[in-house]
Structure 1
């Protein structure tokens, strides 16, 4: 439901990037009108490799802009997830099975390449299905569209004929961007060879506008071959194809990665040649793997969607996508715990927020304006450290600590917390445990640890986390730590085997005063190194 004028004004004051993007669409409609009667959002997907997390991020971010637009405008919207599955299969991704079989089908449209997994009609059908199932699992409202079906059904025919009519103008835009050799063979139309079924990149020798055909020379037979540009007999070359799609479908908004900025400019120029206004857009930065390299679906580096969801909530992934989209960010396993806690922090803050703070909160955009109410007594990072200290291997053990800390909290009433317990156990086992490195305390540190034991013994078992935190602080100050961070780092390294750790007062309250004292004594008497 569209907001009131007052709410719209406040939402725009939040400066949240989805609202800024939505406002661009409002201005677009004022300037160019809206003969379709709705605003069309599009996301593009190339199914030449397995769907990866960047694809999901584009759909999610576009959905956030779509919802923001629906909040400030009463114009209906649609979202198309477009698969470029008629593209030629140019190389075999290294992370696929049946490499030799796939090698034999290079050049064919992706919908004609056999599925290396043996479960679907083609490789493209397999990848399209995986994409849709994931998007469906997250509850996205979208319409899937296949390039193969769009071409063969005739949906693109009018625009393809328009491209044929403006062939020379399009060539004048594209050719200066190509190298000398590529200029000799380039054409905005890629014929589908009637003999081999392959997508050809060959020079176009003749054009017949009245017949709607192009002619090329078959390099193997030497014969001239005439094919229609319509009905799926030709596919448009990449940048021309993008523009053709915008025009044929009437796309109003599409995002693109920073690496496609020049492609956006060229496709926009072609769209104008075809008599249309190119869509509004947003250039987001690319995700990087742990080595700072761009994530590639063909290389299979970085995280997959399944990887993230093994260790963190879908909402934490959505929050990571929301944060700083114009900033290059590492997308690897070590970012997951912070993303989970960032989501929990934003969720906890939302009920008390008003005005522009509410509309700027990521959870407003993640949950389309209605985030759930959740009150969790512990953070995800604290659960990870609890697993570390307790050597817990099952949910029941962790829930025992949680129940002792917060008696009113039960697993059946807090499914999110129960799921976080599962994530913590798996993440600890796979990433924290293998990297733990304890060290023995020095004589100076032993004296401080012994004082900490005495301070903790002077407090009741059920003391508040703040009281335990004060005790830890006072011991650090008493032992002349000029920088208390050094004191806390010593505690983490000696007690938990890591350089970073939780707020100690909260950890002691959750783990238990007596168990913490035992942990300190063992570290003094029998250090793990």
Structure 2
């Protein structure tokens, strides 16, 4: 059977047939919370870039924040006072919290911090700075001169006729500061200026350097040419027939004399049953929030394991544990095939913290320790994990603590009761006899692992075992007539420690608790009479 090639390597092989030097670009408009749906674009770009580098290619990786785009509306997460800023470039609007340089930085800065945490390190550009530095000046001149040709391209490919007065350049009004309410009335190539009138009633002149921006369908191909982009992922909305990529290809070729970059079209990430994530609708889980609850390599894995053209359904509650389990099993599989090994390789990145403690086990350790990190470390050492990676263990513990608080379903949560739970009164005689015998046995053992605890409980149903014999003797029954159900014994354990009939994986749970505490609690429960 032929080996499967990972999609990122397929992309790299395809673009290497065109050239041996490449620039991979990605970009997002920071108009709202940048969520894990947006993360798909950046991780996809990073995977393609890493594959090119792995193949010995001279490659660069950039991220462009579209900070010069206008604020489209007052989003649900904004105060109504932002109504006066609708239409202004994001970089020219006040920060919602007052702690950042402007509106766009309010959403961009935490996103860039998240990228660093994910091991993604592109060179970052801000669109407002690129326009103000004059990067687009020549493209603006060409677009203004070839306005009618661009309009014809847009009409022929998109099927939409540009409105009367349409222009590929949007000046920023000197009076109201808005970029989507102006109309170009003329331009001076020598002075490098553009004249405009605005719906606010004013008119004026702006420079081609920072005085406005190209419309999106022209801005995108102009950016390809100005920065030398050769590879770029984008969402399926841009990939529709007659969409912005199709028009971009023609504008890049016919207006800017540039070949469009190799496309990587990706599908949406769906949030549980709520549908596609969107900042404007509020259906989001921000990358920053996700990095609070799950290791960064698992978030990378969420994207890396699936071909870009297939949608991903993500649920941060119970299904998140399944995702983490899948990643951990694949990572631990020494016999994994080359494809799976490549998936894990691309999911890792330099600087990412890693520990050998399974996420699910840490959910048990964390709750047994009550979130106390010193207690967590003692349990980690007792469980035989590498306790030297304290920084990584702390990160994992923080992830688990946040997940338990923010997304964990109720049945996952528990608390070790400081006093004997009142629910112990419901235990049967056999359950109490079992707890007494169990207490005697474990108190005499020097070392006891989670597997030891698990095996001991199951040994109670085997005739002749120490636990079985103790139960038979105490109940004064004929061994042949007595049946011991381990499920009922586990219920006794959880009831006496947690006050509930079920709990986390028994081996991990019991080995996380002090042996002496368990022996005393079980004996106390066995003697309890309401």
State the partner residue of 2:31: 48
Rounded to whole Å, the distance in 2 between the matches of 1:375 and 1:158 is 51
**Cα drift, residue 25 of structure 1:** 1.9
Residues 421 and 125 (structure 1), Cα distance of their counterparts in 2 relative to 1, 3 Å cut:
closer
Q: Does 1:60 align with 2:50?
A: no
Residues 165 and 257 (structure 1), Cα distance of their counterparts in 2 relative to 1, 3 Å cut:
same
| Contact 2:439/2:523, CA 8 A, preserved across alignment | no
Structure 1 residue aligned with 2:122, among 142, 152, 170?
Answer: 142
Rounded to whole Å, the distance in 2 between the matches of 1:288 and 1:517 is 48
The aligned runs of 1:282-361 (5 Å cut-off) are 282-324=264-306, 325=308, 326-349=310-333, 352=334, 356-357=338-339, 359-361=341-343
Residues 524 and 265 (structure 1), Cα distance of their counterparts in 2 relative to 1, 3 Å cut:
farther
- 1:311-332: per-residue Cα shift (whole Å, max 9, x none)? 3333333333323253322253
Q: Aligned to 1:281, what secondary structure does the other structure show?
A: strand
Rounded to whole Å, the distance in 1 between the matches of 2:165 and 2:460 is 76
- 1:82-114: per-residue Cα shift (whole Å, max 9, x none)? 121111222233324x541x3222222222212
Q: Aligned to 1:43, what secondary structure does the other structure show?
A: strand
Show structure 1 runs of 5+ residues with no match: 1-11
State the partner residue of 2:362: 383
Q: Aligned to 1:269, what secondary structure does the other structure show?
A: helix
State the partner residue of 2:84: 104
Residues 201 and 71 (structure 1), Cα distance of their counterparts in 2 relative to 1, 3 Å cut:
same
| Contact 2:114/2:291, CA 8 A, preserved across alignment | no
Q: Aligned to 1:282, what secondary structure does the other structure show?
A: strand
The more displaced of 195-204 and 487-496 is 487-496
Residues 264 and 178 (structure 1), Cα distance of their counterparts in 2 relative to 1, 3 Å cut:
closer
- 1:390-447: per-residue Cα shift (whole Å, max 9, x none)? 37341233333333333xx564454323432344344435555855599989x99996
Rounded to whole Å, the distance in 2 between the matches of 1:414 and 1:114 is 40
Rounded to whole Å, the distance in 1 between the matches of 2:185 and 2:500 is 68
The aligned runs of 1:396-415 (5 Å cut-off) are 396-406=374-384, 409=385, 411-415=387-391
Rounded to whole Å, the distance in 1 between the matches of 2:316 and 2:14 is 33
The more displaced of 160-169 and 203-212 is 203-212
| Contact 2:364/2:508, CA 8 A, preserved across alignment | no
Residues 86 and 404 (structure 1), Cα distance of their counterparts in 2 relative to 1, 3 Å cut:
closer
**Cα drift, residue 145 of structure 1:** 1.4
The more displaced of 106-115 and 488-497 is 488-497
| Contact 2:170/2:183, CA 8 A, preserved across alignment | no
**Cα drift, residue 525 of structure 1:** 9.5
Rounded to whole Å, the distance in 2 between the matches of 1:143 and 1:519 is 58
Rounded to whole Å, the distance in 2 between the matches of 1:323 and 1:211 is 53
Residues 421 and 277 (structure 1), Cα distance of their counterparts in 2 relative to 1, 3 Å cut:
same
- TM-score normalised by the chain length of structure 1: 0.74
The more displaced of 426-435 and 231-240 is 426-435
Residues 81 and 331 (structure 1), Cα distance of their counterparts in 2 relative to 1, 3 Å cut:
farther
| Contact 1:83/1:145, CA 8 A, preserved across alignment | yes
- 1:126-146: per-residue Cα shift (whole Å, max 9, x none)? 444444444345554322212
Residues 200 and 410 (structure 1), Cα distance of their counterparts in 2 relative to 1, 3 Å cut:
closer
**Cα drift, residue 42 of structure 1:** 1.0
Q: Aligned to 2:224, what secondary structure does the other structure show?
A: helix
Q: Aligned to 2:76, what secondary structure does the other structure show?
A: coil
Q: Aligned to 2:31, what secondary structure does the other structure show?
A: coil
Q: Which has the higher helix share?
A: 1
**Cα drift, residue 381 of structure 1:** 0.9
The structure with more radius of gyration = 2
Aligned length: 493
Residues 487 and 300 (structure 1), Cα distance of their counterparts in 2 relative to 1, 3 Å cut:
farther
The aligned runs of 1:91-490 (5 Å cut-off) are 91-96=73-78, 99-100=80-81, 102-136=82-116, 138-175=118-155, 183-184=163-164, 186-200=166-180, 217-221=197-201, 230-262=208-240, 263-274=244-255, 275-324=257-306, 325=308, 326-349=310-333, 352=334, 356-357=338-339, 359-367=341-349, 376=356, 378-388=357-367, 390=368, 392-406=370-384, 409=385, 411-432=387-408, 462-470=447-455
Rounded to whole Å, the distance in 2 between the matches of 1:201 and 1:40 is 35
The more displaced of 498-507 and 20-29 is 498-507
Q: CA RMSD in A?
A: 4.6
**Cα drift, residue 66 of structure 1:** 0.9
**Cα drift, residue 64 of structure 1:** 2.3
Show structure 2 runs of 5+ residues with no match: 416-421, 463-481
| Contact 2:432/2:527, CA 8 A, preserved across alignment | no
- TM-score normalised by the chain length of structure 2: 0.74
**Cα drift, residue 154 of structure 1:** 2.2
- 1:483-529: per-residue Cα shift (whole Å, max 9, x none)? x9x999979996868999654344444446776687788999999xx
| Contact 1:448/1:475, CA 8 A, preserved across alignment | no
**Cα drift, residue 252 of structure 1:** 0.9
| Contact 1:289/1:302, CA 8 A, preserved across alignment | yes
Rounded to whole Å, the distance in 2 between the matches of 1:222 and 1:371 is 53
Rounded to whole Å, the distance in 1 between the matches of 2:501 and 2:267 is 30
Structure 2 residue aligned with 1:15, among 5, 27, 32?
Answer: 5
Rounded to whole Å, the distance in 2 between the matches of 1:280 and 1:505 is 51
